Amino acid sequence: MKKLILTIGLFLLVFAGLAADASAKDMSRRFGLGVDSTISDYAGDGRGLSFVYVINKYFGMQVIFGMNTTNVELKKKIGKGASARIEPYETTIINWNVSLRALIPIILTAEANLTGVVGFTASGTSSDGFRTYEDAYLKYNDGYQFSIDLGVRPEWFVTEHISLHTQLGIGINIITDDGSVPSTALYKDGEDGTAVSSSDAKGVSVDFFKNVDLLGMAGMTFWF
């Protein structure tokens, strides 16, 4: 235990020395507005409008909010047995994600920063209560899920007011009964022995350093 405490203390001293570099770009008490995304992509791409506030040289907060709406006509089964019938069903689907992230400086320089990211995301789909177990429409089911981001975020200051950034890390997705979505990994046996998508899976999915989109989770922030 003593060795662990000593190691942590030494790390904090080194960290403080790096962060306190006189040539470092001090963003304390500055507000930023831009676009960014979460590391976890279980519920869509996690992109959205980003709000950043740097409290001091050692700590900042970020909120990411994303939403899209889709008007669709689906098919809904009415009744049971021989009297069951299929009817058109119109609904508006809202996909949303809200992330709260802590930004912890690791290395600060005059033109670029390397920041640690610790974040929590809630995301999901909501409509007027529509729910189906048919494979073709599972992605429209109402539900929610949670994820945790642990990563690093390089940021380059192009000018005094504009920065470009990307990120890399681990996404921990908490799969809930309500929030599970079709996936090649989520299958179960149907009544006739065939494999069908599971819409009631639960568990944990962990993505290690997945950077799947074209821009590498790139984002931009305008600093006031």
Q: What is the pLDDT of residues 115-131, one digit of tens each?
A: 999 999 988 877 776 66
Name residues whose C-beta falls within 8 Å of residue 73's C-beta, 6 or more positions apart in sequence. 88, 89, 90
Question: What does the alpha-carbon distance between residue 129 and residue 107 come to, in Å, rounded to a whole number?
Answer: 47
- Paired strand residues for 122: 98, 146
Question: What does the alpha-carbon distance between residue 121 and residue 65 come to, in Å, rounded to a whole number?
Answer: 10
How confident is the model over 72-97, as pLDDT tens digits? Answer: 777 667 777 777 777 777 778 888 88
Total structural domains within the chain: 1
Full-model pTM: 0.73
Range of the domain at 189: 2-223
CATH number for the domain spanning 190: value is 2.40.160
The pair of structure tokens assigned to 3 is 């060795």
